[in-house]
Amino acid sequence: MRYSVVALLALSSTGCAYFNSMWTAERYAKDARQFERNGRMSEARSQWALAAAKAEGVVIRHPRSRWADDALTLQAEGLARSGACEDAGDAIARVRAGVKDQALRERAELADAECAVADGRPTQAEAALALPLASKDESRRSRAEYLAGQAAALRRDYGTAVTHFERSREAAALPARAGALLAAGRITDAAAALETVTAPQFETERADLLAQMAAAGGTTAGSAALDRLLVRGKRMPFQEQARLLIADADRHLARGDYDEAALRYRRAAQVAPALSNEAGMAAVGWPRISIARARQSSDLKPVEAELARLSAEPAGAAAAKNLLDLVRQSMRTAETPGAGFRVAELARDSLGAPALAGQLFLDVADRDTGSLYAPKALLAAMPLLPDRRDSIVAVLDARYAASPYTRAFHGEASVAYAAAEDSLARELGVQVARSSVTRVAARFQRPMPGPRGPQLDDAEVVTAPRRPVTRTPATPARDRPTAPERP
């Protein structure tokens, strides 16, 4: 009798431990789903990993228990949704081989599809989704539709992707549908879909979709979509509203729509919380527009004064100081052609002042007509001053007809091109990749120095030693031979 009691107590203890482990695994999974609904994906993956680990313990210790199949399925599910797909395959295969319950099999197939989509294998994902797409359970069917939409998008079948996303009730299906519509070129439908992406967890998706909208439909379409989204998303945080407006203004600025950019910066300044980073970025909007419009160094004088004022204010200090440093460097009088060339590059690549940069390149060519920099400076100025292209070409042909840069511009092969590039690189303090000196391609490209100046967010590197760079040549004329790119 005593032994029977001991056996019963041991069995009861084992049963309690098993039940507690399974309950804990399910709790982790429940928390993971809640985090996913709230857009907290990193925390969701952590909870899924905990659920998988706890479920695996149940599978190992109690392989013949009544809930062993549930634990094995949860292990596969947790591994897949935590991103550990390389470990999920075995558990998925075991479910397929030994589990009879329909619901558990559907969950395992969803896990397989999850990993296939993550790995960029749409065919495998669609094969795995056949069972859950026909599920009687609405939540699993909805998840399957979302994954099927992702698989179709991977195949670039955006029409099918949109259909699947429309059938899904997953929150993530809303921005996914808008993205598929944009990819399909259905700009109007995408704009309408974007208006529904107002949930707080989709801040990153909203910014990305608006950028895609502007790229696909033009900056005007992007601005209109943003305006409608701001009306619909009345509870959107003011800082996010300001960031979206600043990004929209930046797009207009890049396209030369200065008046519209000014309006968007002003609106961002109105909604940005005081002393926030967004308030500072909006405040430097006017100076950035003035810089973009500058045609000569003297035009930067009032900009310098305004930036100096903003640098003393808490909200605009960081953004204004970086820009002020770049402006002052661009206003310096260059003592050598090399220094002048660097200043012109700074104005073009870091300040975003095309007309000013073009004039500075012309000044380099005029200051020392015999300099190595002169013909290259003329070529660099050409795309920045399109209205003066013909006169620049005339000077190039008259003054530097024998230059390897002029010959490359006209599509003539020249072995001296590589040597000229390396000479300039050494004079600029740029490290030369020696392997490029011995390689001379048969085709040449119109030369143009590529971006070398710092951007606004890393202005402090201006005074650092020069680093190896890759020049980005200008777009060659149609059917012209191209020159080899220099490091």
Q: Do 137 and 103 contact (CB within 8 A), yes or no?
A: yes
Q: What is the pLDDT of residues 232-290, one digit of tens each?
A: 877 789 999 999 999 999 999 999 999 999 999 999 999 999 888 898 899 899 999 99
Least confident of 146-155, 190-199, 271-280, 368-377: 368-377
Give the mean model confidence (pLDDT) for residues 174-186. Answer: 95
Q: What is the pLDDT of residues 42-70, one digit of tens each?
A: 898 999 999 999 888 888 887 777 888 88
* 393 domain-assigned: yes
Alpha-carbon distance 58 to 69, whole Å?
Answer: 10
* 303 domain-assigned: no
94, pLDDT greater than 50: yes
468, pLDDT greater than 80: no
**Which residues span the domain enclosing 454?**
337-463
* 449 domain-assigned: yes
pLDDT band, residue 91 (cuts 50/70/90)? very high
Give the mean model confidence (pLDDT) for residues 307-324. Answer: 83
pLDDT band, residue 316 (cuts 50/70/90)? low
Q: Do 268 and 278 contact (CB within 8 A), yes or no?
A: yes
Give the mean model confidence (pLDDT) for residues 96-120. Answer: 94
**Between 21 and 473, residue with greater pLDDT:** 21
What's the domain count of the chain? 1
478, pLDDT greater than 90: no
417, pLDDT greater than 70: no
Q: How far is CA 405 from CA 109, 336, 420, 432, 476, in A?
A: 61, 21, 8, 18, 13
**Between 313 and 346, residue with greater pLDDT:** 346
Alpha-carbon distance 442 to 403, whole Å?
Answer: 17
* 204 domain-assigned: no
pLDDT band, residue 320 (cuts 50/70/90)? confident
pLDDT at position 12: 43
* 397 domain-assigned: yes
297 Cβ contact list (under 8 Å, min separation 6) = 330, 331, 356, 360
482, pLDDT greater than 90: no
Query: Which of 176-180, 193-197, 473-477: highest mean pLDDT?
Result: 176-180
What is the percentage of the chain residues whose pLDDT exceeds 90? 50
294, pLDDT greater than 90: yes
* 163 domain-assigned: no
485, pLDDT greater than 80: no
pLDDT at position 318: 77
pLDDT band, residue 124 (cuts 50/70/90)? very high
* 186 domain-assigned: no
Q: Would you put residue 480 in left (φ > 0), alpha (ψ -120 to 50) or beta?
A: beta
Give the mean model confidence (pLDDT) for residues 460-479. Answer: 36
Q: How far is CA 86 from CA 82, 90, 126, in A?
A: 11, 9, 19
Give the mean model confidence (pLDDT) for residues 145-150. Answer: 97
Give the mean model confidence (pLDDT) for residues 436-455. Answer: 40
Q: DSSP secondary structure string, 49-71?
A: HHHHHHHHHHHHH-TTSTTHHHH
431, pLDDT greater than 70: no
* 68 domain-assigned: no
Say whether pTM exceeds 0.85.
Answer: no
93, pLDDT greater than 80: yes
Q: How many CB atoms lie within 10 A of CB 423?
A: 13
Least confident of 209-213, 218-222, 454-458, 474-478: 474-478
pLDDT at position 425: 65
Alpha-carbon distance 424 to 340, whole Å?
Answer: 13
Alpha-carbon distance 367 to 283, whole Å?
Answer: 37
**Between 438 and 98, residue with greater pLDDT:** 98
pLDDT at position 415: 66
Give the mean model confidence (pLDDT) for residues 198-225. Answer: 92
